[in-house]
Structure 1
């Protein structure tokens, strides 16, 4: 028997049914839920993030929901520190931490530890933003491909946040990000970890769920939510909060860059692309987790003891 306390990961692409499964487990077993979602951390961003509603949170509270304002930034390092603190508190209460979500970067940071990457440099970041405004992010991605081919190969040309960070690391340190990441961290997770994933076989079914959910978000007032956020906070479209899927498209709609049909179509497409990235990450880790289906609690429940 492991001397380490148990912990469970429940991963999966967006709209795969993770929350419903986690809530069912929380109602029947001695677990506490920790959200692993880079969008759910923002206050006031409820509709477009598919945030669990008040009734759901009343019966199955989630840690790390509504922790910062949309004007703020929340890093993988902050997530790891918060998650480790919460996991220790949950274990001390005699319960099992069940971490549920689809932000694979957070899962990886928590399990593997963090690399000691160079600190951000605001002057270099501002220059990169100016270059991107003039040239476009695909051109910035091409620049990264010359400086750091392995990192460029795994990033989308339009992933402005990660392309910009990789360029910044090179310009700050003179070394490519791939070199930094090759230096493995020893900060392994001090838990007996069991990992499960909802990984759909039929992509068409997931795509249908994504389309229906995004259409429901629009019907529930996603555009009004973004308009209210813009009125309440000093926001700009380059903030991480406003780059979240759905929020970027609603912002463009409010600025007249998209019509209603364009909002729907680009929002659905962006969500499908997010799911594709999540699935690709999971498929690379197939030997590290057990696949489960929506509503399948038996094997997860067995791992909680």
Structure 2
């Protein structure tokens, strides 16, 4: 029987985890997380990791698997995921992958183009520009150099922006132009399911999730990670805003509102990314039966 990787994609807070667990139970299989931060064991509340109950409901891979002290990029994710997928296919006909990182999902589906390694000099220069001028300066720089990647990237993630600028300053070629080379052929089927709802409902989900994170101790989690504030993994939505609060740059209420605003913007960029794929079949998160019917009809 053909082996199939079922990918659940879509914007943050849409309900991907809940659907992935239902599908994993339906197919009696396991889940691989395609989230660009959930593999960091130090970051839990702000990354909306599956709860203990959810992790018990279906076995997950690449959750709490790495430390923020160790960089883990899309190429690393591709290698580890393919290894796990091949192992799972020994005993399962279907494997579920779930997440909102389009870059990581593409790495598994098509392979990740090996990108040039920048010199320490270039990296230090860009990091210094970030420290002295802030992220807006780097955002404007990337927008003028590579508008295609700028439209897709998580703009609140300095690591991603600096990486793209490193590539350009090292090669004179844009990050987007180097990512679209030869696609690898995978020895298994890939089916992509996208989850979305109307914008008002999505934004309400995001706002409620942020309130729930705060209630569950997000501020305390970020404060406990203050020592690691300089790491790129923590210069992301839900963390950088609270570091600003801890540094006296804004009030607690302003930090919460900024997290909601930046998460809504991030969700919009995720949808922009996924909408460029013509092989995603879109559903509302509560259409489980329709999703099963669709999957049955094509594999």
Aligned runs of 1:110-129 on 2, under 5 Å?
A: 110-129=108-127
Q: CA deviation digits over 1:70-112, x for unaligned, max 9? A: 2222100111111101110110013411101111111111112
* TM-aligned CA distance change 1:136 to 1:94, over 3 Å: closer
Comparing both chains, which one has the higher relative contact order based on Cα–Cα distances under 8 Å and sequence gaps of 6 or more?
1
SS for the counterpart of 1:93 is coil
* TM-aligned CA distance change 1:25 to 1:125, over 3 Å: same
- Name whichever of 119-128 and 205-214 sits farther off: 119-128
Say whether the 8 Å CA contact 2:152–2:270 is kept in structure 1.
no
Look up the match of 1:236: 229
Normalising by structure 1, report the TM-score: 0.88
Q: Which structure 2 residue ranges, 5 or more long, are not aligned?
A: none
SS for the counterpart of 1:298 is helix
SS for the counterpart of 1:55 is helix
Q: What is the CA–CA distance in structure 1 between the aligned matches of 2:98 and 2:214, rounded to whole Å?
A: 25
CA positional deviation for 1:148: 4.6
Look up the match of 1:275: 267
Q: What is the CA–CA distance in structure 1 between the aligned matches of 2:115 and 2:31, rounded to whole Å?
A: 29
Work out whether 1:25 is the aligned partner of 2:17: no
Instruction: Specify which of 92, 100, 103 is matched with residue 102 of structure 1.
Output: 100
Normalising by structure 2, report the TM-score: 0.90
Q: What is the CA–CA distance in structure 2 between the aligned matches of 1:74 and 1:190, rounded to whole Å?
A: 25
Look up the match of 1:288: 279
CA positional deviation for 1:179: 3.6
CA positional deviation for 1:155: 5.1
Look up the match of 2:257: 265
* TM-aligned CA distance change 1:226 to 1:127, over 3 Å: same
Look up the match of 1:68: 66
Work out whether 1:195 is the aligned partner of 2:192: yes
SS for the counterpart of 2:30 is strand
* TM-aligned CA distance change 1:205 to 1:270, over 3 Å: same
Look up the match of 1:256: 248
User: After TM superposition, which residue ranges in structure 1, 4 or more long, deviate above 6 angstroms?
Assistant: none
- Name whichever of 214-223 and 155-164 sits farther off: 155-164
CA RMSD of aligned residues (A): 2.2
Q: What is the CA–CA distance in structure 2 between the aligned matches of 1:216 and 1:79, rounded to whole Å?
A: 29
Instruction: Specify which of 35, 38, 41 is matched with residue 39 of structure 2.
Output: 41
Q: What is the CA–CA distance in structure 1 between the aligned matches of 2:113 and 2:194, rounded to whole Å?
A: 25
Q: What is the CA–CA distance in structure 1 between the aligned matches of 2:106 and 2:149, rounded to whole Å?
A: 16
Look up the match of 1:223: 219
SS for the counterpart of 2:228 is coil
* TM-aligned CA distance change 1:292 to 1:175, over 3 Å: closer
* TM-aligned CA distance change 1:59 to 1:45, over 3 Å: same
* TM-aligned CA distance change 1:209 to 1:94, over 3 Å: closer
